[in-house]
Structure 1
Amino acid sequence: MSFVNRKQTEIRASVQASDYGGSADPIAPLQLESPVGQFLSQILISHPHLVPAAVEQQLEQLQTDRDTEEDKEESSTSGAELVLYRRIAEVKANERRKALEEILYALVVQKFMDANVPLIPTITPSSPNDFGQVDTWPTQEAKLEGLHSAEAYEMIQNHLALILENRLGDSNSVAQISKLKVGQVYAASLMYGYFLKRIDQRFQLEKTMKILPQSIDIEKSNIEQEESGKSSFDGIKRSRLRYYVMSFDGETLYRYATIRSKEAVDIVEKHTEALFGRPEIVITPQGTIDSSKDELVKISFCGLKRLVLEAVTFGAFLWDAESYVESRYHFVAN
Structure 2
Amino acid sequence: MDCCLFYGRPSFSFATLSTGTLRRPIDCGLRFDRRPLIVLASASGSSASKCEFGGLNAPLEPRTPAGRLLSGVLLDDRGRFQFAAREQLEMLAAERDEADARMRLSLGSDEACLHRRIAGLKRDECRDVVEDVMYMLIYYKFSEIGVYPVPRISQCVYNGRLEIWPSRDWELESIHSIEAVEMVREHLNDVVGVRANSNVTESWAITEIERLRLCKLYAASVLYGYFLKSASLRHSLECGLYHSNFNIGDCTHVPVSETFSLESKLVAFGHSSNPRSTSVGQVSYGPVKRPKNLKHYLMGFDRETIQMCARPKSTEALNLIERYTCALFGDKKTGLIESNEIISTSFASLKRFVLEAVAFGSFLLEAENCVNDVYMLEEN
Distance 1:280 1:314 in 2: 21
Aligned residue in 1 for 2:344: 298
Q: Find 1:66's aligned residue among 90, 93, 96.
A: 96
Contact 1:160 / 1:308 at 8 angstroms: preserved in 2? yes
Residues 180-232 of structure 1: CA deviation (Å, up to 9, x unaligned): 0001000000011001000011212333444698999xxxxxxxxxxxxxxxx
Residues 259-310 of structure 1: CA deviation (Å, up to 9, x unaligned): 10010011111111111114447xxxxxxxxxxx512222110000000000
Q: Find 1:111's aligned residue among 138, 141, 145.
A: 141
TM-score (norm 2): 0.69
Aligned residue in 1 for 2:287: none
Distance 1:41 1:262 in 2: 22
The equivalences for 1:76-91 within 5 A come to 76-91=106-121
**C-alpha displacement of 1:49:** 3.1
Distance 1:306 1:136 in 2: 7
Structure 2 residue runs of 5 or longer lacking an equivalent are 10-51, 251-291
What's the Cα RMSD here? Answer: 2.6
Aligned residue in 1 for 2:316: 263
Q: Is the partner of 1:165 in helix, strand or coil?
A: coil
Residues 153 and 327 (structure 1 numbering): CA distance in 2 closer, same or farther, change over 3 Å? same
Identical amino acids, percent of aligned pairs = 35
Distance 1:126 1:332 in 2: 37
Structure 1 residue runs of 5 or longer lacking an equivalent are 10-21, 217-238, 282-292
Distance 2:7 2:241 in 1: 43
Q: Find 1:139's aligned residue among 160, 167, 186.
A: 167
Q: Find 1:161's aligned residue among 165, 189, 202.
A: 189
Aligned residue in 2 for 1:310: 356
Q: Is the partner of 1:147 in helix, strand or coil?
A: coil
Q: Is the partner of 1:101 in helix, strand or coil?
A: helix
Residues 53 and 166 (structure 1 numbering): CA distance in 2 closer, same or farther, change over 3 Å? closer
TM-score (norm 1): 0.78
Distance 2:131 2:326 in 1: 15
Distance 1:310 1:316 in 2: 10
Report which stretch shifted further, 203-212 or 248-257.
203-212
Residues 6-52 of structure 1: CA deviation (Å, up to 9, x unaligned): 1348xxxxxxxxxxxx9766442100011211111211221233221
Residues 167 and 178 (structure 1 numbering): CA distance in 2 closer, same or farther, change over 3 Å? farther
Q: Is the partner of 1:59 in helix, strand or coil?
A: helix
Residues 327 and 38 (structure 1 numbering): CA distance in 2 closer, same or farther, change over 3 Å? same
1:42 aligns with 2:72: yes
Distance 1:102 1:296 in 2: 32
Q: Is the partner of 1:80 in helix, strand or coil?
A: coil
